[in-house]
Amino acid sequence: MLLRQLSLVVVMGTASLSTAAAREDGSGAAVLIASPAVRTGETLFATLVGPPSADFLILADVGDGPVQVGPHTICLGLTPFVRVIGQGKLPLTGIHTAAVAVPNLPIMANRTLSLQGLLLDSAAPKGIGGVSNGARAVVYSGARAIVQTFDGSAPQFNNDAFIGPYTGQFDSSVTGRLQAEPLQRWTNETSLVPNTPSGVTSPLNGDGARSQHVYPAEFFQGGGTIIGMDWKPIGGQTFADFFPSVEIRLSHSKVVPDIRLNPGGFPVDPLSGLDATFPNNISPGEIPVVVVPPGTQMIIPDGQGVDWLPWPIFQETFDYNGTDSLLVDIGVVADSTSLTANAFELHQRILGWAVPYHRIYSTGGPLSGPIHAPFAESVALGLDRQGGSPGDTGVVITQFHFAVVETEALSPYLGAAIQSPDYRSAVAAIEGQGDVRFEFRGALLADGTGATPFSPSIDVADGFPFIQFKVIFTADYVDGIQPAIDTLVIEYD
């Protein structure tokens, strides 16, 4: 019901919309300007500016896009509630304003409406000759509201107060929205070992395997969020192969293998490396992060001159602290098509010695059979699980991808219009990809005097005439698209 209940003031009627006629984004053919925020029971205005005499529609939806319709990108969600709020022929001025009375109903509150204008042309694909930019309007129900539009116009809206600038990590070159700063990425290669490289097939074993690899902090230039990993084929050559399930877990470890030799040429501390029991190598009390979940397929192409090949895309990130060792735990399940064809580049840190272990492993084989549940293997039993040496001093050369995924922006203290407000909610129109979270605190004065601690609950600021919010942006580390806030409404009574 929602938008179906909107009472159209300027619109000539409600048209039934097909998917073909209902979605598009910013071709530059027209510009749409809408009220950034509106209270239930009040009027939402949407002004379309386009070519004079052009046939047009202005659409509103409770869902957001984008959706591709022919050559056009639509900013609406094309939900069952998409409605026409303006239609007709643009006048000679090229400007049309639709006014829509928003029903004073609880179901309308705390929603973001998406709006867009379409220019109609029967000769164009899908009957759409062009589209406007997308616009958003936040609907709220509180008696008062602090509205932030991030374009300098916020103080013109009801009961706003804007004091001081925003601070923190955000893209200051962008206006009209508060946007996370561009994703910062860097790569760390574990190539400190000078010894001649050799090739090793574990963990991509044709009968399945579990292997653990420890990388002390000396391999890294500090900590950060790990978003992906690559492996280095020996000699730059790869062979076509397939594995139906690869799982990767990352955690911290207190294990730091001691690679020193005593005067007799023996390891100073041969037990300083990984323990043969897999769980014993994880930092006490830590639960490993499953960055690549079980059931993730891995396809390896034929190749020559290949520097690096990626492991499967991370579904979770890992925050490495930069001081402990990094423990990489890999479980591989093979099938009848899987081969033991590809060798990883590996460097032995102590030539001629298997200890202290830098990696441990159990692999399936013709004697022990295939491994179907790698993480059920609790003890490293070596090749074909025959109880030989379960590991060595080898470091599998790996490229770790890091990024600053999470950034924060801090608002100034915003003043309410009354001395003791009851803050009800914060509603944001959000665009881009990734995640946006908020924390709030209240204060007695605009300089932060008497400030409360930050809390995810806006209720922490109740009774305080000034409120400050922190925005925590989490960027899409795969596509690198930053999230942004178009409009924020803090409603209060």
Instruction: Report the chain's C-alpha Rg in angstroms.
Output: 30
> Beta strand pairing status for 241-253 and 394-396?
unpaired
φ/ψ of 106, rounded to 5, equals -55, -35
Q: Which residue has the tokens 């806006």?
A: 458
- By CB atoms closer than 10 A (0-12, 13-18, 19+), residue 353 is middle
Residue 76 corresponds to which tokens in the numbers above?
């609406």
**The model's pTM:** 0.80
* Model pLDDT for residues 211-228, shown as the tens digit of each residue: 999 999 999 999 999 999
- Please report how many Cα atoms fall inside a 13 Å half-sphere around the Cα of residue 310, on the Cβ side: 10
Length in residues, the chain:
493
* Model pLDDT for residues 379-416, shown as the tens digit of each residue: 999 999 998 899 999 999 999 999 999 999 999 999 99
- Which residues of the chain have a pLDDT value below 50? 1-26, 153-163
252 strand-pairing partners: 326
Buried/exposed 156-176: b ≥16 CB within 10 Å, e otherwise: ebebbbbeeeeeebbbeeeee
d(CA 329, CA 374): 10
d(CA 440, CA 471): 9
Tell me, letter by letter, the H, E, C secondary structure of 267-335.
ECCCCCCCCCEHHHHCCCCCCCEEEEEEEEEEEECCECCCCCEECCCCCCCEEECCCCEEEEEEEEECC
Give the model's pLDDT for residue 14: 26
d(CA 353, CA 71): 63
Residue 238 corresponds to which tokens in the numbers above?
């790869």
Give the model's pLDDT for residue 43: 96
Classify residue 348 as left (phi > 0), alpha (psi -120 to 50) or beta: beta
Classify residue 88 as left (phi > 0), alpha (psi -120 to 50) or beta: left
Give the model's pLDDT for residue 4: 33
